[in-house]
Structure 1
Amino acid sequence: MTDQAHAQAARTPKMLIEEMNRTRTPQDTAAVWFLGQESVVIKGGDRIIYVDPYLSDELEQKAGIQRAYPAPLSPSDVGNADAVLITHEHDDHMDLTTISVIAKQNPCTIFVAPGCCHAAMREAGVAEDRLYAAECDRWKEYDGFRLKPIPAAHEELEETEHGHRYVGYMIDMNGVMIYHAGDTVVYPGLLERLQEQPIDIGMVPINGGDAFRRQDGIVGNMDFREAVKLASAAKFDLTIPLHYDVFAWNGERPGYFIDYCYEYDPYLKTKVMARTERMIYVKD
């Protein structure tokens, strides 16, 4: 292990949170931290957004499913969330244990999620006046950023009485446009939605899906080839792969994603993030 890797591995939750708080992001820059699976933290200006924070052992408690490595933060470490975005109700995305703690100790945090998630989130302690619906295909202004939820197909588009069951998010903050896909395959109309605005950072799942996992009730996503082709067609300035590392039986090797980038579009800029790594994006 390199000295840099040793230093990365030795970082405590307190050090990670302090790094988020002290990181400065001038106009047209954004900072991203990778927490595993599809959990990321994004900072632009003085606003910090957590997307799908999966920081507990929720799945181990419910189904005996263990994480491949411990969460880099515990729910009680999160005292700096201005917003929490939830893409759908699966436990590794809508982690109610984490949501409950964040809601309790962060009285100003807002939460955005598909409407079908709201009842469970209210039961977890999220106040009604802090909980917003992810209404697809329309921009909504918040304090310091704006959002446009994008329908996601995990593996199919599904609508409930409350709207789309699965979503991704367009996040426009500090002059940087970010797309977090959530869990999705590439469906008719997704590319056209993404081409409506230039996307600086695109974050996409790469773990794919197969018949054997479906037999076990594991719903799939786009695979690494589809992720590369979508990023290339949508002209993301930078592409970050997600959803490959927390569960060995439902992951992928990110090296396959990089290899296919080189084969399919060698000019496509990509970044495989180390656990807890901070990346600072500077818009050209």
Structure 2
Amino acid sequence: MNYIYNRDEALIREINDTAIHFEGVAIWSLGQAGVVLKGTEGGGFLCIDPYLTHSIEQEDPTTEFVREYEPPVRPEGLQGAASVLITHYHNDHLDLSTVKALKDASPNTTFAIPASHCDMVRDMQWDTDRLIPARAEESFTVGGFRVNPVAAAHTQYETDEEGNHFYLGYCITVNGVRVYHSGDTVITDELIEKVQSFKPHVMLLPINGGDFFRTQRGIIGNMSYREAADFAALVGADIVLPIHYDMFPTNRENPANFVDYAFRTYRNQKFHMLCVGERFIYMR
């Protein structure tokens, strides 16, 4: 079965050739929580949470986390990215194999990794200006993107001894469009307040949820499809793009549940279900 809409050289060519003009952004799904964002040509493109290898099952043949489809692009195919943003240390988000391959292939790409877990990549021999220790509420600019990390609660907020959050989401402003990628998180009052103040046009939110039995197997939960739809409506997003439901058969949600709930509850709320490798262009 073919799970991928666009892949390999065709996908790379599409990312490089796509031209975005006033108040727009192009978004490509890489599967799971991975996406590529591109604004105007001069601002380049950035990647969030690219998991583009089979490293999880290769490193642990007994794992239940076996990806259901091949990576849509090899890590080196994303060379030229302005930056890679990592939301947290779990290896379907911070994939060391993807990071190393892209780092070596693309010498001008920066990598923003939560400061709490930068030690996981220290042995990759970084130039000092290429590794950005990301901290909640400490904004930075990469290419044409203004990035503000916000704390996330992967069931709860966690910090290291210096107060650096383990889990982050990113509020990104590009080409006049505000995009919020939540990373892995549940919804809290603090998160609602932060995202409401950002006033996102586009929200990328996980919908795989969590339950007792997955928690018993050590799988940390996320917001559910109902919560994602409610969250997007509450903060007034123009469109919501569900993520984090498609890669691992034992930790997923049927996206039809999101569609059904949104249709019945928020008839005026736009949403789009991305195919892996699909380009979606949003215009304000």
Coarse TM-score class (shorter-chain normalised): over 0.9
Choose which of 6, 26, 31 in structure 2 pairs with 1:31: 26
Alignment of 1:49 with 2:13, yes or no, is no
- Give the letter aligned to residue 117 of structure 2: C
Alpha-carbon distance in 2 for matches of 1:12, 1:140: 31
Count how many residue pairs are aligned between Structure 1 and Structure 2. 278
Alignment of 1:130 with 2:130, yes or no, is yes
How far is the alpha carbon of 1:209 from its aligned partner?
A: 0.6
Q: SS at the partner of 1:55?
A: coil
Alpha-carbon distance in 1 for matches of 2:8, 2:102: 15
Alignment of 1:172 with 2:173, yes or no, is yes
Runs of 4+ in 1 over 6 A off after TM superposition: none
How far is the alpha carbon of 1:63 from its aligned partner?
A: 2.3
Q: SS at the partner of 1:195?
A: helix
Alpha-carbon distance in 2 for matches of 1:96, 1:127: 17
Alpha-carbon distance in 1 for matches of 2:7, 2:85: 24
Aligned to 2:217: 216
Structure 2: segments with no counterpart, 5+ residues: none
Aligned to 2:227: 226
Q: SS at the partner of 1:250?
A: coil
TM-score (norm 1): 0.94
Moved more, 86-95 or 113-122: 113-122
- Give the letter aligned to residue 35 of structure 1: L
How far is the alpha carbon of 1:127 from its aligned partner?
A: 3.1
Contact 2:86 2:112 in 1 (8 A): yes
Contact 1:97 1:124 in 2 (8 A): no
TM-score (norm 2): 0.94
How far is the alpha carbon of 1:176 from its aligned partner?
A: 0.7
Choose which of 58, 61, 68 in structure 2 pairs with 1:61: 58
Moved more, 139-148 or 34-43: 139-148
Structure 1: segments with no counterpart, 5+ residues: none
Contact 2:239 2:272 in 1 (8 A): yes
How far is the alpha carbon of 1:125 from its aligned partner?
A: 4.4
CA RMSD of aligned residues (A): 1.6
Contact 1:75 1:98 in 2 (8 A): yes
Name the CA shift for 1:120/1:102 in 2 (closer, same or farther; >3 Å).
same
Aligned to 2:148: 148
Alignment of 1:20 with 2:21, yes or no, is no
Aligned to 1:270: 271
Q: SS at the partner of 1:196?
A: helix
Alpha-carbon distance in 1 for matches of 2:79, 2:117: 23
- Give the letter aligned to residue 111 of structure 2: F
Alpha-carbon distance in 2 for matches of 1:23, 1:43: 8
Alpha-carbon distance in 2 for matches of 1:140, 1:98: 23
Aligned to 2:96: 96
Contact 1:96 1:124 in 2 (8 A): no
Contact 2:82 2:143 in 1 (8 A): no
Moved more, 135-144 or 244-253: 135-144
Moved more, 135-144 or 255-264: 135-144
How far is the alpha carbon of 1:184 from its aligned partner?
A: 0.1
Contact 2:116 2:159 in 1 (8 A): no
How far is the alpha carbon of 1:214 from its aligned partner?
A: 1.1
- Give the letter aligned to residue 170 of structure 2: Y
Alpha-carbon distance in 2 for matches of 1:54, 1:134: 19
Contact 2:76 2:106 in 1 (8 A): no
How far is the alpha carbon of 1:12 from its aligned partner?
A: 4.2
